[in-house]
Structure 1
């Protein structure tokens, strides 16, 4: 059978399954799935874990030998197999098919659980006979990335799990800060569950400073100043994070995301859309509307285009030429957004300008 991560606990409670397959690349869901399966098994007496890691030279017969051997330590065992590659060849395919036959014959014993896990499966691998056979014997949990549309549902689900009651604006802040980093977001929820009483509504004001203080790198520290046109403050912050050793690529990514959004918003204004329509489309919460109102009324579409072009050049220079300080170039970018007509006459190649 095939299920998704959010149905795993329910499926575990429905009874013994000799085989679990967890494949995908998103780390938090993958680690959480493996932990849930192992914890559930250990609660039911599977106290010994034997681990294998397969590569191109792996001897697949080891799995059959281990399965058929008698354990010296426990009557119930978990055999965990990590696939470092999903290309297991004909020998792996034959060995796993043979193992499947033996598992099916001994299904009533319920003394061994296999956990197979690895990277995302491609189409041909998912259609291999070994995989289909093992899936029929047990349960396959595919792990997919959680995109921005699904992230609010995931956040609320995890908040309920930790008995954390998030105010809507706090949820938006967490999504902005930790999008693309589920492990860090889950850790933040755990921290909030320890610091606030169960089910107490946690407001943005109550948690904002705590969250921002603990975040390794907070985009609002620079983006808010940028949206308000405070270029001097932006430059000071860029200098600060450079001193803290933050990789330029992180800052470039944040600027890229924000400037592209500003371009899209300004383009919609030229098409006749109102600010309220734009705020709704881009999910701009009330507290941040004044920031965007300032930016959208003080930044021209032409200057955003100039900034996008210069940002592409900055990204290239930062990756190909160690002679340039990417933070100086990003300071130029901040000024370009508001004074692009002047900055376009200055070259980013400051060594020769």
Structure 2
């Protein structure tokens, strides 16, 4: 026998109230209306993502009442998760996710130099693997290692070299330096470089 449980979707206008009740039930924390609405906007009605945000706040904010500033401060603490998601989306060729994550990082005012060196390492590892060399994978997740190997087999070495050089341009632009043949927008250039691997296959 089986049991069928009906779960109706939650209307966007009712989501902040659901978030407030969920946080109180799970964490014993009270959310201001502004904080609950900000979480609703960030998760776009995805209840799984919303529950994860509530769990993150419980871990990162040790106080009984959470306001907008607490939610915004927590962004910097979870930005490493967003960056790893960017690397995996790029390696897996998920162009839509790459674009969305970069827009999210930009919207959260994450500084490009804070993670650009890690992205450069990803491309360097792809080049080495593509040429048959071993790379250091200490500290990388199994998903990351697998994605690296798959991407290295499908990527053209000339494309990887171009990506590596263009990331140098991104670094210069993010520091306010002039780069020829560019409009000076470091975020757009960063997105273009990441999408190169996502959109072009052998």
Question: 5+ residue gaps in structure 1?
Answer: 1-190, 192-211, 342-353
Matching residue within 215, 218, 227 for 2:91: 227
- Relative distance call for 1:217 and 1:340 in structure 2 (3 A) is same
Aligned to 2:190: 330
Deviates more, 1:220-229 or 1:332-341: 332-341
Matching residue within 114, 130, 137 for 1:282: 137
1:317 Cα offset (Å)? 2.3
Aligned residues: 122
Q: Take 1:318 and 1:235, find their aligned partners in 2: how far apart are those partners?
A: 18
1:339 Cα offset (Å)? 5.0
Deviates more, 1:221-230 or 1:286-295: 286-295
State the superposition RMSD in angstroms.
3.0
TM-score, length basis structure 2? 0.51
Q: Take 1:251 and 1:236, find their aligned partners in 2: how far apart are those partners?
A: 17
1:264 Cα offset (Å)? 1.8
Moved over 6 A (4+): none
SS at match of 1:215: helix
Aligned to 2:26: none
1:335 Cα offset (Å)? 2.1
Deviation track 1:42-83 (CA, whole Å, cap 9, x = no partner) reads xxxxxxxxxxxxxxxxxxxxxxxxxxxxxxxxxxxxxxxxxx
Aligned to 1:166: none
SS at match of 1:253: helix
- Relative distance call for 1:251 and 1:285 in structure 2 (3 A) is closer
Aligned to 1:239: 103
Indicate whether 1:302 and 2:186 are aligned: no
TM-score, length basis structure 1? 0.31
Q: Take 1:317 and 1:333, find their aligned partners in 2: how far apart are those partners?
A: 13
- Relative distance call for 1:289 and 1:318 in structure 2 (3 A) is closer
Question: 5+ residue gaps in structure 2?
Answer: 1-58, 60-74
Indicate whether 1:255 and 2:119 are aligned: yes
Aligned to 1:215: 78
1:289 Cα offset (Å)? 3.8
1:311 Cα offset (Å)? 1.0
Higher relative contact order (CA 8 A, sep 6+): 2
Q: Take 1:222 and 1:300, find their aligned partners in 2: how far apart are those partners?
A: 20
Higher strand share: 1
Asked if the contact 1:306/1:336 (under 8 Å) is kept, the reply is no
- Relative distance call for 1:338 and 1:285 in structure 2 (3 A) is closer
Q: Take 1:313 and 1:213, find their aligned partners in 2: how far apart are those partners?
A: 25
